[in-house]
């Protein structure tokens, strides 16, 4: 459901409920001092609603809205009890903070109180789960915790009915929602009105229920089932263990020095170098706190880690580990960032590799191998979102590094097994990294060229024993438009023409014009080799590391790069790069190839895949490099399908671009670049492809204007054809050439290409003005608004596809409709003979491509025309 239904049911001049047209407050901007990644996890909220029938409103944030269910009896912690949950209209995110009275006579009239709120997670695509009818998720609130299920009921009903129930996890028990009302705002006494006996009865029933529930509450709280093991006694047996009181504060972590190769010898052990965020954690008086390596508190950002540590059952403890997503490889770092920022859902885990304190016993001075044995024992029984970092013996360092590299990990950490835990950087811990990526300080910017905004490239430096900092090269690729803008704003106007670091090469013209400044922040870049002076070859941005400080790089983490090691690295990396260039595009394995997708024609998933392979060169002209939305049908046409625009867990070939949405939230949008990416989406059951009218590298400028001619009831297709020709003629009078597309549905598209691209505001202004002028010229024939009651007998000129973030179906895309129709580009001369908007199916489209002499849209990308005259 969309927020249209929410708007329709409410009068915002009467009710205090938030209008979806009012944007929620923007999150507080991160300051440099916090040095932490942007964290905006998807929220959940449960509100106790004393309406005509008392119930709990259960809401989960999916995208930029709250999916909502009414649960009459509220959630139960007993896994055997399944509570009915009636799906209602989506609510805006701003509703999460709403409390108070909805006036009598208004929709949902009664008192609304906040029952619980927090973060929710699922390791799988939430939209796909909802489409299938089973959403499995975790809640991290004050009252609702642990894993839950929502399963759609098969019973026919006016509104979709689901069942909400608890997973049998560490939180399961006999507690009911009504047992947890202590502290929840109660409704004010209702005003007596003899004229409204029904309202009086409802109020009386609500009071009775509230009074009973309050008695039952008895200050009940939800706590996980904890381990009953005397870990203190086990910790006391470690060498050099001693009694101590743990402070309620962050501690400085032990750090590793960078080496060229893994050390050998029995005194060493080797662990995987996880690609994530280093976090230390403390438990004091049973309260968990989590900190970054720079002592910034993360407890509220990663509630699943706090819940995992609580299940250890300790009164006090201190641990060191890494926050990861997926397997913790380099490829999973983007998933970690996207999960933390709320751009997609993913499972997070805390991989522990050290323990320093256990229930009053300080074990820092015990040998590492003893500390790890204790930690392994503590984690022997699995705890969700927590894992133990295993190791291999010292003599197998080279093999460990080779295996870690093969499996795409960042490298390994080698540690002295016989040494205590010592804060800071020293020789007891050493890291050996793959040279595929490395971290550098940003020390300047070059000016952008052409249409490039923000800056051209970042100037990079590495720490150097002799010079302090030495220039390492420049990185100008891999940035999204949003990153260019945000980083330019972060850098500001600082800088001078004098280099702030040692530059080991002659300054070229670009470096002479650059702005230089002291090391400002850290970026991680992919490396494709080093020159003889240690200058990076063809680097590209991997990520901005605002969680790290430039001092972290200078803290003896690495030394100056010698010419010999640079040559070695160049040879090794160049070899890998050449191997990648020779490698064929990854083959996407198609699961369930015999699954029926179009039941009316018995078309299978394999046949859908074969179709898209056949049209791929033509479809990619329409969608490659553009933000993309798809319609996915996991169980085929006729069953639940859903619209998806954000990147999701499991997609490994399809990339994403980070774009800001209307609500001010950054989100990762799907982008397909090649056949492999297209086929990966087909494997994910994508049937329809809807691109933006802009490219991912320039999302704020449109290179298409699309008029969707959508016939209402009673309009013959012949009238749609006449209308398309009329629109073409009017556009020609304005000096604009257009192209024709059969949509695979009822209507036609008239498409106007723009080169150079125009700003979205201008494009939308032109499209709206054209559509409204058309409707005003013949109101009995045309309509420029989507009002359903006005649609019969008229053609809706839909100009709303011409806004930033709006999409239209691509040529050669299938439609998720009976008969397997396709959207097909046409020459204007073919319009007269066209029978329907869905005249071409999979077979006819492939035959058409094979038999035609010329692509009717061959000139669409080379035609130069724009809307500057209407600016």
Task: Show which residues are catalytic.
Answer: 273
| Nearest CA among 113, 116, 106 for reference residue 49 | 113
Residue 749 phi, psi (nearest 5): -110, 135
CB 818 within 8 A of CB 633: no
Residue 339 has a CB neighbour count (10 Å cut-off) of 25
CB 113 within 8 A of CB 99: yes
Structure tokens at 518: 């002291």
CB 553 within 8 A of CB 416: no
Tokens 């005259």 correspond to 869
CB 383 within 8 A of CB 259: no
Distances (CA, A) of 543 to 135, 275, 334, 335, 779: 32, 12, 8, 12, 53
The helix/strand/coil state of 563 is helix
d(CA 584, CA 586): 6
Going by C-beta distance under 8 Å and a sequence separation of 6 or more, which residues neighbour residue 503?
470, 471, 511
User: Could you tell me where the beta strands, DSSP code E, fall in 299-453?
Assistant: 316-325, 348-358, 361-362, 386-388, 392-393, 411-416, 424-433, 437-446
- Beta strands 254-258 and 424-433 are parallel
CB 211 within 8 A of CB 339: no
d(CA 805, CA 714): 31
- Beta strands 161-166 and 686-691 are unpaired
Residue 360 has a CB neighbour count (10 Å cut-off) of 17
The helix/strand/coil state of 426 is strand
d(CA 781, CA 788): 15
Going by C-beta distance under 8 Å and a sequence separation of 6 or more, which residues neighbour residue 622?
689, 691, 810, 811, 812, 813
Structure tokens at 839: 């005249």
d(CA 814, CA 104): 48
d(CA 133, CA 164): 12
| Nearest CA among 318, 150, 316 for reference residue 232 | 316
Q: From its phi and psi, is residue 295 left (phi > 0), alpha (psi between -120 and 50) or beta?
A: left
The helix/strand/coil state of 537 is coil
Report the length, in residues, of the chain.
Answer: 871
Structure tokens at 197: 């006996």
Q: From its phi and psi, is residue 313 left (phi > 0), alpha (psi between -120 and 50) or beta?
A: left
| Nearest CA among 637, 622, 619, 626 for reference residue 679 | 619
End-to-end CA distance of the chain: 36
Residue 147 gets which letter from DSSP?
E
The helix/strand/coil state of 549 is coil
Q: How many CA atoms lie within 13 A of 10 on its CB side?
A: 23
The helix/strand/coil state of 17 is coil
Residue 539 gets which letter from DSSP?
-
CB 231 within 8 A of CB 378: yes
């Amino acid at each position: 459901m969309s927020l249209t239904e929410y708007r329709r049911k409410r009068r915002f001049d009467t009710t205090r409920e938030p209008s979806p047209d009012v944007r929620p407050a923007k999150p507080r901007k991160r300051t440099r001092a916090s040095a932490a990644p942007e964290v905006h996890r998807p929220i959940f909220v449960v509100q106790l609603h004393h309406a005509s029938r008392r119930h709990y409103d259960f809401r989960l944030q999916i995208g930029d809205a709250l999916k909502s269910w009414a649960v009459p009896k509220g959630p139960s912690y007993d896994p055997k009890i399944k509570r009915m949950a009636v799906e209602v209209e989506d609510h805006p995110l701003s509703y999460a903070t709403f409390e108070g009275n909805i006036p009598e006579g208004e929709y949902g009239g009664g008192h609304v109180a906040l029952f619980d709120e927090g973060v929710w997670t699922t390791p799988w695509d939430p939209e796909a789960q909802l489409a299938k009818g089973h959403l499995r998720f975790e809640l991290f609130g004050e009252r609702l915790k642990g894993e839950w299920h929502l399963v759609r009921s098969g019973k026919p009903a006016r509104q979709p009915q689901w069942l909400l129930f608890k997973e049998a996890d560490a939180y399961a028990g006999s507690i009911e929602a009504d047992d947890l009302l202590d502290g929840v705002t109660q409704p004010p006494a209702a005003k007596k009105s003899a004229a409204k006996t029904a309202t009086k009865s409802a109020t009386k029933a609500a009071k009775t229920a509230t009074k009973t529930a309050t008695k039952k509450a008895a200050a009940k709280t939800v706590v996980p089932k904890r381990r009953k093991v005397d870990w203190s006694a086990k910790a006391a047996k470690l060498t050099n263990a001693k009694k101590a009181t743990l402070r309620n504060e962050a501690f400085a972590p032990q750090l590793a020095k960078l080496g060229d190769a893994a050390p050998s010898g029995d005194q060493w052990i080797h662990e995987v170098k996880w690609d994530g965020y280093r976090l230390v954690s403390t438990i004091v008086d049973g309260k968990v706190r989590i900190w970054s390596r720079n002592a910034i508190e993360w407890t509220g950002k990663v509630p699943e880690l706090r819940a995992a540590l609580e299940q250890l059952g300790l009164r006090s403890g201190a641990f060191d580990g890494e926050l990861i997503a997926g397997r913790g490889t380099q490829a999973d770092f983007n998933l970690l960032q996207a999960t933390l920022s709320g751009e997609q859902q993913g499972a997070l885990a805390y991989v522990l590799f050290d323990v320093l304190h256990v229930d009053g016993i300080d074990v820092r001075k015990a040998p590492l191998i003893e500390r790890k044995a204790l930690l392994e024992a503590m984690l022997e029984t699995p705890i969700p979102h927590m894992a133990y970092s295993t190791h291999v013996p010292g003599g197998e360092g080279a093999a460990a590094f080779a295996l870690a590299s093969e499996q795409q990990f960042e490298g390994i950490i080698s540690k002295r097994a016989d040494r205590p835990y010592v804060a800071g950087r020293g020789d007891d811990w050493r890291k050996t990294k793959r040279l595929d990526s490395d971290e550098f300080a940003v020390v300047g910017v070059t000016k952008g060229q052409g249409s490039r905004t923000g800056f051209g490239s970042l100037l990079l430096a590495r720490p150097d024993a002799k010079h302090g900092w030495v220039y390492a090269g420049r990185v100008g690729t891999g940035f999204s438009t949003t990153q260019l803008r945000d980083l330019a704003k972060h850098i500001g106007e600082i800088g001078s023409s004098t280099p702030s670091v040692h530059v080991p090469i002659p300054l070229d013209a670009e470096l002479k014009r650059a702005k230089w400044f002291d090391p400002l922040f850290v970026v991680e870049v992919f490396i494709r080799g080093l020159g003889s002076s240690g200058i990076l070859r063809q680097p590209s941005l991997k990520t901005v590391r605002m969680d790290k400080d430039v001092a972290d790089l200078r803290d003896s983490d690495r030394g100056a790069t010698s010419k010999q090691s640079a040559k070695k690295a160049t040879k090794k990396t160049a070899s890998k790069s050449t191997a990648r260039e020779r490698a064929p595009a990854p083959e996407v394995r198609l699961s369930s190839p015999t699954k029926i997708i179009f039941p009316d024609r018995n078309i299978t998933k394999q046949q859908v895949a074969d179709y898209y392979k056949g049209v791929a060169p033509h479809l990619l002209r329409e969608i490659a490099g553009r933000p993309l939305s798809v319609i996915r049908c996991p169980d085929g046409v006729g069953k639940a399908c859903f619209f998806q625009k954000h990147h999701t867990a499991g997609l490994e070939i399809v990339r994403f671009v980070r774009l800001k949405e209307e609500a001010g939230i950054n989100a990762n949008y799907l982008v397909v670049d090649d056949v492999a990416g297209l086929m990966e989406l087909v494997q994910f059951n994508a049937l329809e492809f809807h691109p933006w009218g802009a490219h991912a590298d320039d999302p704020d400028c449109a290179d298409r204007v699309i008029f969707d001619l959508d016939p209402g009831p009673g309009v013959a297709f012949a009238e749609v054809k006449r209308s398309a020709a009329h629109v073409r003629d009017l556009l020609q009078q304005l000096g604009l050439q257009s192209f024709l597309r059969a949509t695979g549905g009822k209507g036609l598209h008239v498409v106007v290409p723009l080169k150079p691209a125009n700003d979205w505001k201008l494009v939308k202004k032109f499209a709206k003005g054209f559509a409204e002028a058309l409707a005003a010229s013949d109101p009995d024939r045309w309509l420029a608004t989507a009002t359903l009651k006005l649609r019969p007998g008229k053609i809706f000129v839909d100009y709303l596809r011409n806004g930033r973030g709006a999409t239209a179906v691509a040529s050669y895309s299938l439609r998720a409709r009976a008969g397997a129709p396709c959207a097909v580009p046409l020459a204007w001369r073919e319009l007269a003979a066209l029978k329907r908007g869905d005249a071409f199916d999979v077979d006819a489209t492939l035959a058409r491509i094979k038999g035609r002499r010329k692509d009717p849209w061959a000139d669409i990308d080379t035609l130069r025309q724009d809307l500057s005259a209407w600016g």
